Amino acid sequence: MTEPLRLSKRMSELGLCSRREADEWIARGWVRVDGKVVSELGSKVLPHQRITIERQASAEQARRVTILINKPMGYVSGQAEDGYKPAVTLIGPDTRWSEDKTPQQFHPSQLRSLVPAGRLDIDSVGLLVLTQDGRIAKQLIGEDTSIEKEYLVRVKYSKPGRLPDSDLRLLNHGLSLDGKKLLPAKVSWQNDDQLRFILREGKKRQIRRMCEAVGLKVIGLKRVRIGRVKLGDLPPGQWRYLRPDEQFQ
């Protein structure tokens, strides 16, 4: 017999929303199981039961925004730390990219519950996603995410000569961090001092630590793509909305 699951967990598994959103909707009476409203937090369901959400929940979800920003150096991804400002402070009507053609109007309320879906170190630049939508956050940073992130990394070799091919192969597969083997990556030379990294995971300072392990020092690091969404021509310090026709996977 299949074990019952917590309703909020099941809703998250089905991609309806995040667990936090599910709990909010359940408390508001916006969730039905097999046609009946379930408003008690912690309620459980069986996998075959049909879960539907009220129109109010769908409408609220549709109003949630996802913002792409070209993070400059010197800003942190999330909460302010060590006197450095978070990237969200760059978002306002004056810094919206003039080429952003989405009809969405900016309103300060969009900054509430706007969280980074993945980190980008303070000394790294490029594509950072901030979202109010729990479904997108789960896609990008959930435990089982397989969405690729692509980086251009300028490096300097600390030993005489050039990085051996065997060490390039190690960067692609074979390194461990914090006692755990890394997933296979795609790492290739773009020119004499720049590597392209494509990863499906995001451990803290992963690329810098991978490079250190083979004697490379990172001089500059820029994220240029997350899944199908590219940084493109978005200028540093400016932002745009995720378009309705864009998807990360």
Residues 6 or more apart whose CB falls under 8 angstroms from that of 141 comprise 117, 118, 202
pLDDT band at residue 193 under the 50/70/90 scheme: very high
CATH number belonging to the domain at 5-62, selected among 2.60.120.10, 1.25.40.10, 1.10.10.10, 3.10.290.10: 3.10.290.10
CA–CA separation, 160 and 137 (whole Å) = 43
CA–CA separation, 136 and 151 (whole Å) = 20
Q: How confident is the model over 68-123, as pLDDT tens digits?
A: 999 999 999 987 777 889 999 999 999 999 999 999 899 888 898 898 998 899 99
pLDDT band at residue 61 under the 50/70/90 scheme: confident
Q: How confident is the model over 126-160, as pLDDT tens digits?
A: 999 999 988 888 888 876 778 999 999 999 999 99
- Active-site residue numbers? 121
Q: Which pLDDT value is given to residue 21? A: 84
Q: Which pLDDT value is given to residue 244? A: 87
The topology (CATH level 3) of 149-226 is Pseudouridine synthase (3.30.2350)
pLDDT over 70 at 1, yes or no? no
DSSP result, 8-61: HHHHHHTTSS-HHHHHHHHHHT-EEETTEE---TT-EE-TTS-EEE-HHHHHHH
Q: Which pLDDT value is given to residue 51? A: 95
The topology (CATH level 3) of 66-144+229-241 is Alpha-Beta Plaits (3.30.70)
240: left (phi over 0), alpha (psi -120 to 50) or beta: beta
Q: Which pLDDT value is given to residue 162? A: 93
Rounded average pLDDT over 42-46: 92
Rounded average pLDDT over 3-32: 89
Better pLDDT: 14 or 89: 89
Q: Which pLDDT value is given to residue 145? A: 79
Q: Which pLDDT value is given to residue 231? A: 97
Q: Widest CA span of the chain, in angstroms?
A: 71
Which regions of the chain carry the CATH code 3.30.70.580? 66-144+229-241
Which regions of the chain carry the CATH code 3.10.290.10? 5-62
Q: Which pLDDT value is given to residue 45? A: 94
